[in-house]
């Protein structure tokens, strides 16, 4: 795929067990392009836990979804960049000034490798959920608006559902990174995801990275599940 991510699969490691995280990496390192670590892991082990996993020499996506005032986000990004993750994300709904502060933190750090991206709309939400939250726009329109705002703010890409890949690609250049969760094989349980798609379809539409967790981590044979997904991407 590229020199940072050997393939598009970002393995979601959602655990509060450091041993479980290490075990998954040892088993699946050669089958995935990187790992995604969220709040469950980070709140359990903090930066020291990230440093332990970095020893496995695998790209790390810090999925912390930062959402705060611009000054706080600037300082937080500055601190997180010392860990040299491949990707850090913020919430686009934090606004343009907040996202610009995140981009400035990256620029000021001198880091040339980490990408900062914005979460648009969580894939656990659909139009009905958004309506209950007070949004009148369809999810696709809102995602595109937030994606454009992220680009204008100087960020490197967005997290979006597979349903919005084509729309974003039609309106924003191909250098803009699209990280897509909610990926399921046809035979998988959709769990709490509502806006989903198969890996092959998502890549064909223009996704750069696919965040995949339970279809691999909950599989009886995790290596086989990973290889099955990679085979479908060929």
> What pLDDT does 193 receive?
47
> What pLDDT does 196 receive?
60
What is the distance between the alpha carbons of residues 154 and 107, in angstroms, rounded to a whole number? 10
Among 30-34, 52-56, 198-202, the minimum mean pLDDT is found in: 198-202
What is the distance between the alpha carbons of residues 141 and 20, in angstroms, rounded to a whole number? 39
Among 37-51, 92-106, 173-187, 205-219, the minimum mean pLDDT is found in: 173-187
From residue 34, how far is each of 45, 93, 101 by CA, in Å?
19, 26, 26
HSE, side-chain direction, 13 A CA sphere, residue 114: 27
- Per-residue pLDDT averaged across 71-97, rounded? 98
**Residue 3's pLDDT band (boundaries 50, 70, 90)?**
low
HSE, side-chain direction, 13 A CA sphere, residue 158: 33
What is the tens place of the pLDDT at every residue in 131-162? Answer: 899 988 888 999 999 999 999 999 999 999 88
What is the distance between the alpha carbons of residues 177 and 161, in angstroms, rounded to a whole number? 13
The CATH architecture annotation of domain 9-233 reads Alpha-Beta Barrel (3.20)
| Proportion of the chain above pLDDT 70, given as a percent | 94
> What pLDDT does 184 receive?
74
Burial string for 66-101 (b: 16+ CB within 10 Å, else e) reads beeebeebbebbbebbebebbbbbbbbbbeeebbbb
> What pLDDT does 234 receive?
79
- Per-residue pLDDT averaged across 51-78, rounded? 97
Assess whether pLDDT exceeds 60 at residue 191. no
Tokens of 58: 């695998």
In the set 22, 29, 54, 65, the catalytic residue is: 65
Closest CA to 118 of 87, 144, 150, 145: 150
Assess whether pLDDT exceeds 70 at residue 186. no
> What pLDDT does 2 receive?
55
Reply yes or no on whether 132 is catalytic.
no
Q: What is the DSSP string of the chain?
A: --SS-SSSEEEEE--S-HHHHHHHHHHHTTT-SEEEE-HHHHHHHHHHHHHHHHTT---EEEEEEE-S-HHHHHHHHHHHGGG--SEEEEEGGG-HHHHHHHHHHHHHHT-SS-EEEEE-S-TT--HHHHHHTT--S-HHHHHHHHHHHHHHTT-SEEE--GGGHHHHHHHS-TTSEEEE--B--TTS--TT-SS-B-HHHHHHHT-SEEEE-HHHHTSSSHHHHHHHHHHHH-
What is the tens place of the pLDDT at every residue in 46-62? Answer: 999 999 999 999 999 99
């Amino acid at each position: 795929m590229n020199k940072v991510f050997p393939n598009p699969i970002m393995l979601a490691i959602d655990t509060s067990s450091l041993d479980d995280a290490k075990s998954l990496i040892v088993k699946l390192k050669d089958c995935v392009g990187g790992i995604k670590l969220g709040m469950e892991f980070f709140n359990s082990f903090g930066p020291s836990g990230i440093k332990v996993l970095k020893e496995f020499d695998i790209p790390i996506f810090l999925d912390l979804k930062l959402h705060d005032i611009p000054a706080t986000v600037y300082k937080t990004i500055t601190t997180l960049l010392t860990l040299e993750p491949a990707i850090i994300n913020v919430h686009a709904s934090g606004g343009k000034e907040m996202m610009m502060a995140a981009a400035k933190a990256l620029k000021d750090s001198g880091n040339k490798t980490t990408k900062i991206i914005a979460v648009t709309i969580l894939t656990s939400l659909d139009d009905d959920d958004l309506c209950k939250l007070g949004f009148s726009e369809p999810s696709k329109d809102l995602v595109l608006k937030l994606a454009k705002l992220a680009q204008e703010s100087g960020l490197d890409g967005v997290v979006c559902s597979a349903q919005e890949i084509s729309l974003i690609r039609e309106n924003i250049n191909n250098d803009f990174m699209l990280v897509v969760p909610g990926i399921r094989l046809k035979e998988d349980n959709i769990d709490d995801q509502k806006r989903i798609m198969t890996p092959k379809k998502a890549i064909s539409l223009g996704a750069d990275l696919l965040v995949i967790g339970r279809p691999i981590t909950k599989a009886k044979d995790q290596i086989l599940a990973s290889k099955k997904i990679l085979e479908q991407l060929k």
